[in-house]
Structure 1
Amino acid sequence: MRIKKLEIHGFKSFAERAVLHFGHGITGVVGPNGCGKSNIVDALRWCMGEMSAKHLRGRAMQDVIFAGSDSRGPLGMAEVTLTFDNDGNVPPEYAQFSEIAVTRRLHRDGSSEYLVNKVPARLRDITDLFLGTGVGTRAYSIIEQGRIGFIVSSKPEDRRSLIEEVAGITKFKARKKAAERRMESTQQNLSRVGDIVTELERQLQSLRRQAKRAEKYKELRSELRDLELHHASLETLRVLVMKKLASSHSEALEQEAQEAQAGIAAHEISIEEDRLRLLAIERALQHDQAASAELETKLAALERDLEHWRRQRDEANARGQAARRDLEDAENKLTTARAEHEGHTVNLSNLATSVDVDRERLLSLDADHGETQGKMTSIDRRAESLRRSAVEYIHEGARQRTLVAAIAKRTHELRSRLEHSTAELEDVAHRRGVAEIKARALTEQRDALMSQMTDWRSWLDTNRITLDAAVTAMTESDRLVRSLRDELSERRSRLESLQEIARHFEGYSDGVRSLMQPAIEGMPGRTAVSGVRALITDVLEVPPQLEIAVEAALGERLQYVVVDAQTVGVTAIAYLRSIAGGRSGFVPVEPRNTGGVANGDALTRVQARPGFEAVAEYLLRDVSIVANLDEAML
């Protein structure tokens, strides 16, 4: 693989897109310090999958994105594309391409993209592409300053990686490590599967014993059904006999039955009447509650009206007192005005008399006009003054008469208002008395309704307690029935599952299944070899609390097959070999006596089916069952 072209955009100091072409031979990049020569090498390393910002001379990976300058803002993405010639030393999926372009993009939000020939790829794909080619982030194709001295002075073990890279075996070692990791993971999975299989086999033994108990339950159930049928036939016979014996009393019994039926009907009618009466009482109670609420509302309205009329009465009393005070003031003013009017009338009379006297004197002195001219002028002025005074007295008298008339009118109005207020007070007092009577009647009626309501509630609570108890009992009965039905359904389902497991001899070895193949195929009791009696799990009856202990003690012997004689076992072994049906152990129904006395107590706690006692003794004669390890050490 030869590098043909390098495209850089937004990577470190390359704000504009830059394209570098690499021709045949040696290509040198020359320039002053700080012009970006090292950035080109960093771009090559970064495009080939470098994940360490430190090796790219930065603190964070986002530091490779152009950060901006005085004349240009920062960019949001860095992109580098590296183009190679395809010399055939590439993975098969890229063999059809003449050129391979690897592109890496990094956005400022931290997201990145890898592309191979503009097709999205993984970092793993990029790494696999460069394995064994000498190109990569840690390969010998990029040697920095000081790297040559490190290579020359390094140990042979350290230089081995460079030699392996040159030899092209690095990718095979990487694939080997990946395969070893997968194999280790597979081995762990197989180990877990083995543990699961062991656990399932242990559970299967327990399920097999449960299936055996289920079969026994089925047999006992069948016997119970036969006994129930027999009992039912005996009961039917007894009923027929009793019917014949009681034929003479049939009419009396029918009469009693009719009376009992009538009593039941009457009791049902009574219950229905009680229920209807209870509903009627509840409706009456609701009606009385509504009526009581309405009466309380009316009582509150009457109390508000009574308070309103009380306020009106107080206001009328206040207005009456004010009217009385105004009337007294008006009468006083009228008396004063009348006195003033009489005084003005007397003064007016006196003035008129004085005018007449002065006129007579004027006539008498007319002759002396010349002498008395000055006096006349004075007298005229006085007369004019008297005239004005008289006019004023006349006006004042008219005003006083008007005032007296107004006072009289006001007095009449005040008297009318006083009479109206007095009538209103009497009406308010009457209505107050009526309201108080109604309020007392409503209070008494409310108290009576509350007492009756209390009695009804007490009766209703008593009946409701009885009804709730009956409903609770009925609900509990329904729940118990549903629970029993669910339990029965669950047990039936479990029984069917156990029967299916037992019918197909699941959990047994291939040899046992081969011998029991006829039974598996639907021929119960038939085996592939004649003389096979049963399985060990079928002949031992172990208490549930001892199942685990017996299973641990017998181990693989639980899968032994009981045969009539030792020759049957030999025949069965030959049959299994002929069909390659697996292996199995066999025990004759009368095994050889090994002599000696049994040392264990298991035989006293584990029962055997009739006819298989010798098999049980053969298997358990030296087995003791203890509660714990301390007891076993004694």
Structure 2
Amino acid sequence: MPLGRLVQVELENFKSYRGHQIIGPFHQFTSIIGPNGAGKSNLMDAISFVLGVKSAQLRSGQLRELIYRGAAATANDASTPPDDIDSLRPTTCSVSAVLETAEGNTLVFKRTVLESGTSEYRVNGRVRPYEAYNRALEQQNLLVKAKNFLVFQGDVEAVAVQTPMDLTRMIETISGSAAHAPEYERLKALQNRAADAFASHFSTRRGITAQVKHVQAQQDEAERYESVRNKQRDLTTRETLFRVAATQSRLVRARDRLALHRARAAQAQRALGADAAAQQQRRRDLARAQRDLLTQQRRAKEARRARDGLQPSALRLQTRRTHLEREMERVRREREREAAALAEQRETAAGLTRQLQQMDLTLEAFEAKASRDVRFGEGQITKALVKAYDQTRRQVDGMTESERERLAALRRAERQARHRRDNAMAERDMEQPKLDQVVAALRKHDAQAEALTARYDVAQLALDDLTTRQQEADTERRRLMQTEADLNERLKETQRALVDARDVQQLTARETRQRETLAALTRLLGPGRVHGTVAELGRPVHERDDHALSVLLGRHADAIVTDSKATAMQCIAYLREQRLGQAMFLPLDTVEAPRDLDRNRETVRRLPACALALDRITFDAPFTRIFQMALGNSVICESLDVARRVVFDHKIQVKAVTPDGDVVHKSGLMTGGQRNTIAGARGSSGNRRALARRSDERQLNQLLALRTQLAGEMADIIEAKRNVVPDETFESDRARLQKQLSQIVQEQQVLSSTRSGQVATRDALQARLAELTTAIQQHGSRLAEIENEIREVDAVLYDVEKREFASFCKEAKFKHVRDYEERYLDLNSAMEAQRLALKTQTAKLMHAMTFAQERIDESVKRLAEFDTTLSGFGVSLAEIDAEESKLTEQTAAMDKDAEALEATVTSLTNQVAELEAALQQERKAQAAQRREADALAAQTAVGEAELERVRADLDALFRRCKFEQIHLPLAGSDSDFLAVLASYDAEAEAEALASQAEDPNEEDDMEVDGHPTAARAAEPATEAMTAEIAALEREREALRAQLERMAPVHVKEGNLASAQERLQRSTAASEAARREAKAAREHFQPVRQARFDTFMRAFEHISARIDRIYKLLTASRAMPTGGTAYLSLENSDEPYLEGIKYHAVPPMKRFRDIEQLSGGEKTVAALALLFAVHTYRPAPFFVLDEVDAALDNTNVAKVTNYIRRVVSAHRRFIIISLKHAFYERAQALVGIYKDQARASSRVLTLDLDQPADAAAAPGPGPAASTTLAAAAAPIAAA
């Protein structure tokens, strides 16, 4: 129907809103914004309050708490006049909602909180009661109970995760079907009571009808029962006569067999004790031989261990010898190199000695010449000549000043060049010994490197040899381990064969005892009462099913089948008395087949490659229930796959078995097959007999001999493994050699590093010497040039001086003035300079001589050390030779002792084997004798028990006649049989049995029907007698069963008439109850259908729209179709009685319960549900309070798009939100802010669809005079 619209909301002193304020007008999509604490949620409470929501849901305990209280703070302000204080304390509040109907009329809903704290409701100014107020709201589709017009803050997520029943109640409220609930419950209770009453009367009538029929049948049954009972008495008498005769015949045969068994048992016991002493002596001899063998084996083992203990010592000596020989060779090579270096050094020292001698001679000649020159010049020059020389020299110096300056400069340059040359030569002389020393050190390092290389090679060879020997030891160890594994496997196989052979013997003995027990029971009770085992009574149709049937029969295979439970109890008593073990008995009269036997027969027969186990085995008809109970619904399948398909795919509750023995149980468990095992009764018996035929005495002896042989070989292998050097020894030697190699490598690295430094030093010295040689040559060339220039200048000066000093030279008798100057002026300085040069050269030669002598001394010292080392090596080799000789002698002595002990061990082993074989033969013979004696003793016990059983059977027959009053005629007596048995009591019977036990040959003297039991020649019961007894028993049992089925009761007179009268009364009451139940059902069905139709209309509407809405809210570019949402009913017949499940699957997510979704996903799902519900009974407006708290911007945008899509002129959305995505896309904004001056919430409105210059407008009313622009500052500040 057409909807109205919410125009505006008017508040007066409501919560935080002071005075009268108008909020609105509301557009199709209005967003309410504002800071926290401004009053947005109070606006939500105001809308809820005016629409009739209870105060408990408005965050208030009482209605008084809704009145504005902010005036108290204002009243405390000193600027407030006293007269205005009362006006600042309002005592009432109200909220009005102005709605415009679809017809254009205006409806004003107003709710006021009075001073008394109660509510007053008005519609268009007229006071109305709450019911009328609520009806007026419902006419506008504003359902207060369903709250179809608002969602409180925080409730949106709870909507998605609400229980199914809560969702059902919400839809029932929305649909209006809840209005039918009271009438529905009342009429349903009436219908149930009427139906229960009708069922009670109907059940009573049916019981009375059955009682009438039963009384009539009892009268007829009583007559038939008496006739059958008389016939049964006659058959019982005849059967008892035949049984007494047969029992007397069995008694005679039992006595004869017992006497024979006793004689044979006594003879066997005497034979059993004949060889006990000889066997005991042989066991003592065997024990003595075994002790000697263990002693010798221990001594041989200790000898081998001692011999093996010498091997590591021999290996260490060999390693030491190899190392010493290699070290001696290395030291010899180093000594030879050192001797060659010593010879070279001595030759160098001899040359230096000769140079020193020559230098001494030169110095002596110089000193003699200087002495002569000094003496030659004394006394030849006068003072006048000296004065003339001085004058002339001053003149000449003035004349040749420039030449002298040039000559002085050239001489300075000459001195510098000579000085540099001399310095270079001196440095060369100093560096050359260093170079020689470095070269000598390099030669020494080369020798050390060769020694380290030799040591490394020796250690590496030792490591390679160790690796080879370890590999050989590993190969030998693996070969021994493989041989040991093979021997172990052969020993295991032999042991298993022995165990199987012994198990077969034991199983054969067990089967023999079981067959003997079964034969004894058959003899005692007769073949008609003990039929045999279940496995013997059935035969498989096909041989391949034998194993499967054995698995299915399981423990029932060896069960013994008897004719009755009484026979089974007699068998159990016999087994307990004779201590023959345990057995399972299946009586034919108590065994019952499963009730659901034919449930799966037709289904299984239609399946290929499988059949019921009952169809795969044949047996006699009397044993049908036995095999039905044992096999049940079990199925035999051709393969395991077929069995799995039968149980898992076709869901048939059966046990499926394959021919291999694989089992698939009803519960789904699977059990693996056991091929070639002794399992199942018939199959196991056949296997045991086959194994018994194969495992004869000869094979058992061969297996014992093979086990002894393999044990000996195993002992040899274990001994050989002990002789192999263990890996720990190799690893220890390897670690030692690797450590030695590591040390050598470290020494090589250190030596290499040192040598590298010395090589660098040598190269630097050689380079420096080359530079010095070049510099000496350069300085020499320069010095020659300067000398040439000096000679040229000096020649000019020489000529000038010769000319100017001619008179002086003539008078002084010198050829030239320079002779005078050299002799008298320069002689002393020249002599000192030459003497200094000679002494310097001598000092250099002495230094070189000292260095050469030190090198010679070091070489001599090293040669002495080498000789000492070689002597020590020789001593060590001699010690090693002595130790090796001693070890060789010890090894030879130990080998000789070990061989002697091995021979002794071999002899003792053969002796022990012979004694064991002989003792084994004696044990076998004694075991055979013991088995024979045990069998005879068992036969004697069986005979005694059989005799006691026959006597007990005869006694039981007489007791049965006494208790059941069966009349039997006595031979030779006319008295009644019952009178004779009257004196037959338990004490007399016990005494008779005791006397017969003492003398089993004592005869019974009672004769029945002319057949004396004391006659030894009494003939046994014939087959005809046995057949007659069986026929009479079957006929009697048939009559007994017939009597049991009849089971008559005595019917009193008048019972039938009374029952018929009760039947008439019950029929009338039942008919009246049926009519009442029909009337109640006719009244209930319309109400039920109305409630169902009302509910389903809403459910189908919501269910049809929720998926489309959810897709719109979750669609995206990656997933244009969006997610999936749907509702499902838990009860489709009466959906309002049970829950409704809501499922939402977000895009590209797997299905999960809605409780497991994220917060945002829950919110989107809840909004989809709320929007879908809102489409069924849409209110004129829909208020949502911060439903976007858990949504991101993307989902907020999707929600706003949906809202803008569905809004219309009569559908309005009011959103309280703090997210810009909402209020940016809204059509209008309502801003809530806190006016601190007035202590009140204030309102601003903005129409976003109008132009910007006209958008900001104050809301209508006196409280909305402020523009949005003016209030933007406090909102932004908040």
Give the TM interval when normalised to the shorter protein.
0.3 to 0.5
What's the TM-score, normalizing by structure 1? Answer: 0.46
User: What TM-score do the two structures reach when normalised by structure 2?
Assistant: 0.24
